[in-house]
Amino acid sequence: MTLWGGLFDTWAARRDGAAAPVQPGPGDPPPRSYVRVTGSLSRRMILIAAVWILLLLSGGGYALDRVLTSAITRNFDDQLDYLLTSMIVTAEIGSDGEVVFNRNLGDQRFLEPGSGLYWQVSGKGYEPFPSRSLWDRKLPEGDPHHDKEVHTYDSNAFSDEKLRIAERDLTLPGSPVRWRFQVAESTDVLDAQILALRRTLVRSFLLLGLGLIVMAALQTWYGLLPLRKLRYAIARLRSGEAARLEGAMPAEVAPMVEELNALVEHNDRQAEEARRHAGNLAHALKTPLTVIMNAAAAGQDDLAGTVIREARTMRRQVDHHLARARAVGRRGSAHSRAEVWPSVEAVERAVSRLYPNVRVDVDGARDLIARIERQDLDEILGNLVENAAKYGGGSVFVTVRADMGFAEILVEDDGVGIPEADRQRIFDRGVRLDSGKPGTGLGLAIVRDVAEIYEGTVTLEESEDLGGLLVRLRLPAFG
């Protein structure tokens, strides 16, 4: 059973006075599910948010780490450059041709062996002049530089200590030798600062990422809350506790709720129509059956004629209700479409064979397409044109035209017409103004019912050209 089939049963039971919908018994199979579950929408949204947050935080953290690490390293190099400049400013050539300092360098670590801060001056033909902190070690000299720039690089010259060296080659006044001034500092402090920075970044970004994921989860839960409420409301609707979906909904969900309520009302109307027409059919068949039974019980001589006559009436009643049931079942279908002109031509040929003395002329647009099933359109046109041929004076004119989104079909005859006071009553089932000709009085009732099912209209007017009756049929059209 489908969802709306279950809703139909529930509403029918409630209208018939049932206290509660019928529940499956212990031995009944569980209700079949027609929905294929593809996973949790909440998990999908949270997973997408989490992956996106992690990607953004990873990229942002890496970029921030590069920027801050470069800033710390640049600050470290600026300190080395400052010390190197202080050395060069205080350096001069002594009496023996070697470099001497006219004042001591300010940092006490230069005097402590193995302190991690060192300087060294070296020149071609002279022994390197180191700081006391170097003790018995020497800084690597490397290739000479032929510019005036400060060169900074990392060095593993000491096996137990990684160094950051800043050096510059220059010539001092009064000396032909090109001297190399070097300042080196252990990178332990620099590495410790970078490590502390990265540890802080990782902790901060992990906390931020966790907070954003939790926020995304809460946002998803709160955002999908109306859908959960809608689910419970539909469950209450199916169980018969509510007649429609009630309550305030967000703007994104409200249209769906309105469509569901419209579908509920549509199914409710269909159920009511089905019940009403079943009752009408039963009532319509009861009278002919009663006549046949009375004739048979009385042993009438014309029993065969009575059966044939009443059976014809019952058949017409059954055809009427079957036509309406077909139209109701197809109502609202987006695929309902019929070309008007071929249907008009087919009906014209059929009526011309039934009434060879009647002239049927057709004219108008040949490309109109109406929103109706071809079988139902044939049923409507067949009734209208046949009535015009039967009750007219021998001429029938059919006009097809477009009018403001509708396909309008005019059927005119040259008969006596219908008085204006009777034009509404003639649509009632069984009403006949001319009882001298065969019929059941259901033709126009079928036309009206089927046309209204497809949101069309049927009106009766007086024909200005032929003087008889004009039937104006309007049906929604494509284009």
Q: Kindly state the average pLDDT of the residues 333-362.
A: 88
Half-sphere exposure of 8 (CA within 13 A, CB side): 15
d(CA 38, CA 3): 19
Closest CA to 320 of 271, 383, 373: 383
Q: List pLDDT tens digits, range 115-143.
A: 999 999 998 888 898 999 998 899 998 88
Structure tokens at 91: 């350096």
Residue 401's SS3 state is: strand
Pick the CATH number of 336-476 from 3.40.1210.10, 3.40.640.10, 3.30.565.10, 1.10.260.40: 3.30.565.10
pLDDT at residue 12 tops 50:
no
Q: List pLDDT tens digits, range 151-172.
A: 999 999 888 899 999 999 999 8
Work out the percent of the chain whose per-residue pLDDT is above 90.
35
Place of tokens 């009750």: 391
Torsion angles phi and psi, residue 152, rounded to 5: -120, 135
Q: List pLDDT tens digits, range 184-225.
A: 999 998 999 999 999 999 999 999 999 999 999 999 888 888
d(CA 320, CA 357): 28
- CA quadruple 381, 382, 387, 388: dihedral sign: positive
Structure tokens at 31: 């209700």
270 C-beta neighbours (distance < 10 Å), count: 15
According to DSSP, the β-strands at 359-364 and 395-403 are parallel
Q: Is 256 exposed, middle or buried (0-12, 13-18, 19+ CB in 10 A)?
A: middle
**pTM exceeds 0.85, yes or no:** no
d(CA 255, CA 235): 19
Q: List pLDDT tens digits, range 316-345.
A: 777 766 766 666 655 544 567 899 999 999
Residue 398's SS3 state is: strand
* pLDDT, the chain, mean: 82
Q: Is 200 exposed, middle or buried (0-12, 13-18, 19+ CB in 10 A)?
A: exposed
What DSSP line would sit under 118-174, residue for residue? EEEEE-TTS--EE-GGGTT------S---SS--EEEEEEEETTEEEEEEEEEEE-TT
End-to-end, the C-alpha distance of the chain in Å comes to 37
Place of tokens 């994104």: 252
Place of tokens 């018969």: 240
Name the band, by pLDDT with cuts 50, 70 and 90, for residue 29: low
Q: List pLDDT tens digits, range 227-241.
A: 888 888 888 888 888
